[in-house]
């Protein structure tokens, strides 16, 4: 079965999470992704635990279905190999500290001369220009500097980092979107271009609501536990045996009166302080103890049954094992079992992309370091086995 990005070849010079998450999505969608790795050790993520028979589970979760070629970009032969590969590729993605690729003689201006159709994607912590451009960054730095940690956590307590590496992951997703947009533009113009994605820019973008509130009303967003800043109720409540998340429709089909009935608090239904989601947010200090008291004595399962009967959106706060066993997640085929030559059978997350005419799914385990070096050099670049052997002697691969 065909996939949406069949025929698109991506050279991936990134490591760890930001870039590899982006190229994982492109690979899910059918692009051929060639990982270009340092001969010594390769992608830094290969060193991240926990390990399965010596293989990094962190690396295994992100690099399935990609190919790996080793290349020493400090050597002249290595540089020339990369340039040759750019001539037969559509996209180059790199996430070195800005300036590095230029210094290596592999910047956009050089690559463009070899292939004017190339889309040259630069991911970095802070972007290709600006006072912090040359600063290195990792996820936690960006989640800290971008503001999300200051509004995640319990009220009045220390900042918390969201449990997902969203500094890397949303940046990887924006990079994927920008890459596909540039491919679409190239279909019209026939020409590639450079794309500049900054992790910090991406954090600001996903914090849109917090910034718009602050910039236009002066209100400083703060941590709210599980609550939403402008809607209520829209949070998790403690139950007898866990937590239940509840949200409700507002507007013309306002569910607030129904919710009051289900939790047995008819007396607050018409209270003018609680008439709309925005009023309930503003008067939350008065509302919170009433709701907590109303909800605490039944189990999560009991509440789900009662709220679902009333068609009020709700759900349990699940642990990771509970999500893994969830019948909906199973029905959507969200885990794939794949075979790795050393780590054996392993389970990874499948793809969220479901199309009616194309089928996307994880198929092959993440490559060993340099697993496809020979295949790519002889197949794609038409080299002889002897030439490959010479490159190996010269430590170019």
**Choice among 12, 139, 168, 196 that is catalytic:** 168
Distance CA 55, CA 58 (A): 9
Instruction: Tell me which DSSP letter residue 367 carries.
Output: P
At closest approach, how far in Å is the CB of 389 from a second copy? 26
Q: How far is the CB of 390 from a second copy (least distance, A)?
A: 25
Separation of alpha carbons 307 and 288, rounded Å: 18
Pairing label, strands 51-52, 32-37: unpaired
Distance from C-alpha of 342 to C-alpha of 340, rounded to nearest angstrom:
6
**Is 168 designated active site?**
yes
Separation between Cα atoms, residue 368 and residue 41, nearest integer Å: 11
N-terminal to C-terminal alpha carbon distance within the chain? 34
Q: Between residues 83 and 324, which has the closer beta carbon with respect to a second copy?
A: 324
What would the two tokens of residue 75 be? Answer: 């050597």
Residue 303: CB minimum distance to a second copy, A: 12
Q: Smaller CB distance to a second copy: residue 60 or 101?
A: 60
**At closest approach, how far in Å is the CB of 11 from a second copy?**
18
Cα of 103 vs its chain's centroid, Å: 29
For residues 209 and 219, give the distance between their C-alpha atoms in angstroms, rounded to a whole number. 12
The rounded radius of gyration (Å) of the Cα atoms in the chain is 25
CB nearer to a second copy: give 105 or 223: 223
Please state the closest distance from residue 379 (CB atom) to a second copy, in A. Answer: 23
Burial class (CB in 10 A: 0-12, 13-18, 19+), 364: middle
- Calpha distance 272→76 (Å, rounded): 75
Residues acting as catalytic residues? 168
């Amino acid at each position: 079965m065909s996939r949406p990005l069949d025929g698109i070849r991506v050279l991936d010079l990134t490591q760890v999470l930001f870039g590899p998450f982006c190229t994982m999505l492109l690979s899910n969608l059918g692009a051929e992704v060639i990982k270009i790795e340092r001969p010594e050790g390769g992608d830094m993520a290969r060193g991240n635990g926990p390990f399965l028979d010596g293989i990094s589970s962190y690396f295994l979760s992100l690099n399935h279905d990609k190919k790996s070629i080793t290349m020493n970009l400090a050597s002249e032969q290595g540089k020339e190999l990369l340039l040759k590969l750019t001539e037969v590729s559509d996209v180059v993605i790199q996430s070195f500290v800005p300036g590095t690729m230029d210094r290596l003689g592999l910047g956009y201006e050089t690559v463009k001369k070899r292939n004017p159709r190339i889309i040259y994607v630069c991911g970095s912590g802070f972007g290709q220009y600006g006072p912090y451009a040359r600063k290195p960054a990792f996820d936690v730095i960006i989640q800290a500097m971008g503001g999300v940690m200051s509004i995640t956590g319990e009220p009045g307590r220390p900042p918390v980092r969201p449990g997902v590496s969203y500094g890397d992951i949303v940046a990887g997703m924006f990079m994927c979107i920008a890459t596909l947009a540039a491919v679409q533009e190239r279909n019209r113009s026939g020409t590639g271009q450079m794309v500049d994605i900054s992790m910090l820019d991406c954090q600001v973008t996903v914090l849109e609501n917090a910034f718009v509130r602050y910039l236009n009303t002066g209100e400083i967003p703060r941590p709210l536990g599980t609550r939403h800043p402008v809607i209520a109720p829209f949070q998790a409540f403690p139950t007898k045996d866990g937590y239940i998340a509840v949200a409700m429709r507002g507007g013309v089909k306002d569910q607030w009166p129904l919710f009051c009935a289900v939790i047995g608090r008819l007396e607050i239904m018409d209270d003018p302080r609680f008439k709309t989601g925005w009023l309930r947010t503003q008067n939350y200090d008065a509302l919170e103890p009433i709701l907590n008291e109303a909800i605490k004595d039944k189990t999560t399962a009991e509440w789900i049954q009662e709220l679902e009967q009333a068609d009020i959106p709700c759900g349990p706060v699940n642990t990771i094992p509970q999500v893994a066993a969830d019948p909906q997640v199973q029905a959507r085929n969200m885990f794939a079992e794949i075979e790795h030559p050393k780590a054996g059978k392993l389970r990874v997350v499948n793809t969220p992309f479901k199309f009616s005419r194309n089928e996307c799914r994880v198929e092959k385990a993440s490559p060993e370091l340099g697993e496809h070096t020979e295949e790519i050099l002889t197949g794609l670049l038409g080299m002889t086995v002897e030439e490959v052997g010479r490159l190996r002697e010269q430590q170019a691969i």
